[in-house]
Amino acid sequence: MSVTVKLFATIATLCLLHRCYRCVRRWSRLYQRAKYMNQNVPSVQPHWLWGNVFDNPGIFQAGLDWHIKAVSRCRRMLVYWGFWTPCLILNHPDTMKEILKSSTISRRPAGRTGYHILGEWLGQGIATSDGSHWRRNRKLVMPFFQSNCIRKHHVPVINKATDILLDKLAIKADSATPFDFSHMMFNLSGDIIYRVALSHELGCQQGGSPVLDSLNVLTEIGTSRILNPIMANDFLFRMTSKYNMWIEALEVVNKLSEQLIQERRRQHTQESCEAATKSSDLLDTLLLSTYSDGKRLTHREIRDEVNTCIFGGVDTTGSALTWFFMDIAKHPDHQTQVQEEIDNALRDHSEDGTDCYDEHKLPYLMQCVRESLRLHAMLMPARALLGPLTVEGVTIPPKTGVMIDFYQLHHNPDIWGEDHMEFHPERFDQEISAKRDPHAFLPFSIGPHQCIGQKIAMQELKIIAIRVLRRFSLRLVKEAKTKFRIVGKPASEVVLAIRHRKGPDI
Strand partners, 66: none
Is residue 490 in some structural domain? yes
Is residue 24 in some structural domain? no
Is residue 494 in some structural domain? yes
Task: Give the pLDDT of residue 93.
Answer: 95
Domain count, the chain: 1
Task: Give the pLDDT of residue 114.
Answer: 62
Three-class HEC string of 364-408 = HHHHHHHHHHHHHCCCCCEEEECCCEEECCEEECCCCEEEECHHH
Pick the closest to residue 421 from 405, 437, 406, 410 (CA basis).
Answer: 410
Is residue 260 in some structural domain? yes
Task: Give the pLDDT of residue 505.
Answer: 46
Is residue 22 in some structural domain? no
- Enclosing domain of residue 343: 41-500
Strand partners, 89: 78, 403
Strand partners, 88: 79, 402
What are the E-state strand segments in 106-151?
106-107
Q: What is the DSSP letter of 271?
A: S
Low-confidence ranges of the chain (pLDDT < 70): 1, 5, 26-32, 56-63, 110-114, 229, 272-279, 293, 350-360, 503-506
φ/ψ region of 239 (left if φ > 0, alpha if ψ in -120 to 50, else beta) reads alpha
Distance CA 83, CA 161 (A): 47
Distance CA 183, CA 185 (A): 6
Is residue 31 in some structural domain? no
SS3 182: helix
Is residue 142 in some structural domain? yes
Task: Give the pLDDT of residue 278.
Answer: 55
Q: What is the pTM of this model?
A: 0.90
Distance CA 410, CA 92 (A): 9
Distance CA 500, CA 171 (A): 10
Pick the closest to residue 252 from 219, 210, 222, 305 (CA basis).
Answer: 210
Is residue 385 in some structural domain? yes
Tell me the CA distances in angstroms from 466 to 71, 231, 348, 368, one per residue in order.
Answer: 34, 42, 14, 12
Residue 62, domain CATH = 1.10.630.10
